[in-house]
Structure 1
Amino acid sequence: MAAVTRTTESLTPELYEYLVAHSAPVDPVLRDLAEETARLFPDSVGMQIGPEQGTFMTMVARMLRAHDAVEVGTFTGYSSICLARGLDARNGSLLACDVSEEWTDVARRYWDLAGVSDRIELRLGPALETLQALPGSRAFDLAFIDADKTGYVGYWEELVPRMRPGGIILVDNTLSHGRVVDPAEDAPAVQGIRDFNDTALADERTDVVLLPVGDGLTMARKKD
């Protein structure tokens, strides 16, 4: 009898390569973007999501038949391309929030190359202020949070009321490279993730699962 386990498999580098090789292939635009990001911002390249996560996010947007999406933390545009590609091709819209003109200048170029620039609205400035300034009537189908970790709870509190019933919030880095379970780790970013994870779990407005995708990807569904 084959071994059976009820826990998630640990990924060796070889198993991860196998996983990526047996997922939908990355197209040249995203491959070039990943390579340019690594060249231009070697100290920040870890902020970019992996290819399997990008494919997963595109699929989530398509399954939701999402029209209106928001991204908190754009960096050089990999995740926004993945989200925008999954939106309705006729009237899909992604609000991309970031504070860096340098990073998002790269994103703009690749949005054009990917053919999704007409679906993306970039707003530069503190994302919390951008969200707070939105009309109360605006409702999102899909949201992605991947910005400063100490701000996650604030973004969550602004976004949950703005999600339509059945809408999905994806939140990145919620395992903080395993540091969330290290009692000796007290960095503000790690504590910010712990605070967020506890807040999301206790929030009765949503159903939540923390997935072992990338550095931890929390998926929350707004209750009907």
Structure 2
Amino acid sequence: MSSTILTMTAPLNQYLVANGLREHSVLAELRQLTSHHEFSNMQISPEQGQMMALLTKLVNAKHTIEIGVFTGYSALAVALALPDNGHIVACDISDDYTRTARSFWEKAGVDHKIDLRLAPASETLSHLIEQQQSGTFDMAFIDADKTGYDHYYEQCLQLIRPGGLILIDNVLWSGRVADDTCTDEDTAAIKVLNRKIHNDDRVDMMILPISDGLTIAIKRDI
């Protein structure tokens, strides 16, 4: 038994991928294509995509939100796990990046499940709230501009039903959150949000040390 997180060596990671990862062929193709992108570090890992798909099924999700689409890997992983009548409201501001996403969603046969909205995410979420959709979504994934995380979190808390999930990416921020010398705006925003969620009695939560850190928050029925 160990009281600390196991160090992920290269051989151990290869074993994990070989024995623990099931990846749809279109997801693998999209991941390979995005690996050559200048901002490839913005794509989640396949292990994280698989976990998000499992969480989608565990909460019997039908209606989800994604904030930050990039080339569409995470949305595709979730869409494949949703029932045929499920849907994702996917928020992004880049037509260029999401053009790739749309082509792979169509290739995987899940494009009908994904409602891509090219506008600032805060505006899209505000419109959903104004349309009286609060409490109607099962899960949200936040992976966009870090200084906007707190606002997205609050909006998603309104939109998610009790028992629903909010997933927040990059909360360990390559270790910078634990470095007191890192005082840039993005790092500061993540630190503040991490502390806020830790003390937030509206949710049950944990930070999972997968990829760059993932917060999993379950909205309480209060």
- Residue 218 (structure 1) aligns with: 215
CA contact (8 A) 1:68 1:93 kept: yes
- When normalised by structure 1's length, the TM-score is 0.94
- The CA deviation at 1:186 is 1.0
Residue 11 in 1 paired to residue 8 in 2?
A: yes
Supply the AA of the counterpart residue of 2:8.
Answer: L
Residues in 2 aligned to 1:200 and 1:88: alpha-carbon distance in whole angstroms = 30
Residues in 1 aligned to 2:166 and 2:19: alpha-carbon distance in whole angstroms = 26
Map 1:140-155 → 2, pairs under 5 A: 140-155=137-152
- The CA deviation at 1:31 is 1.4
1:170 pairs with 164, 167, 175, which one? 167
Matched positions, count: 218
2:70 pairs with 71, 75, 82, which one? 75
1:136 pairs with 128, 132, 143, which one? 132
Residue 87 in 1 paired to residue 82 in 2?
A: yes
Residue 122 in 1 paired to residue 122 in 2?
A: no
Residue 110 in 1 paired to residue 104 in 2?
A: yes
- The CA deviation at 1:54 is 0.5
RMSD value over aligned CA atoms? 1.1
Residues in 1 aligned to 2:118 and 2:144: alpha-carbon distance in whole angstroms = 13
- Residue 101 (structure 1) aligns with: 95
Supply the AA of the counterpart residue of 2:133.
Answer: S
CA contact (8 A) 1:136 1:162 kept: no
Residues in 2 aligned to 1:125 and 1:162: alpha-carbon distance in whole angstroms = 18
- The CA deviation at 1:202 is 1.8
- When normalised by structure 2's length, the TM-score is 0.95
Residues in 2 aligned to 1:137 and 1:130: alpha-carbon distance in whole angstroms = 12
Other structure's SS at 1:75 match: coil
Other structure's SS at 2:20 match: coil
Residues in 2 aligned to 1:111 and 1:222: alpha-carbon distance in whole angstroms = 29
Q: Deviations over 1:156-208 (max 9, x none)?
A: 01111211110011111100011100000112111111111112112111011
Residues in 1 aligned to 2:80 and 2:192: alpha-carbon distance in whole angstroms = 32
Residue 196 in 1 paired to residue 193 in 2?
A: yes
Other structure's SS at 1:10 match: coil
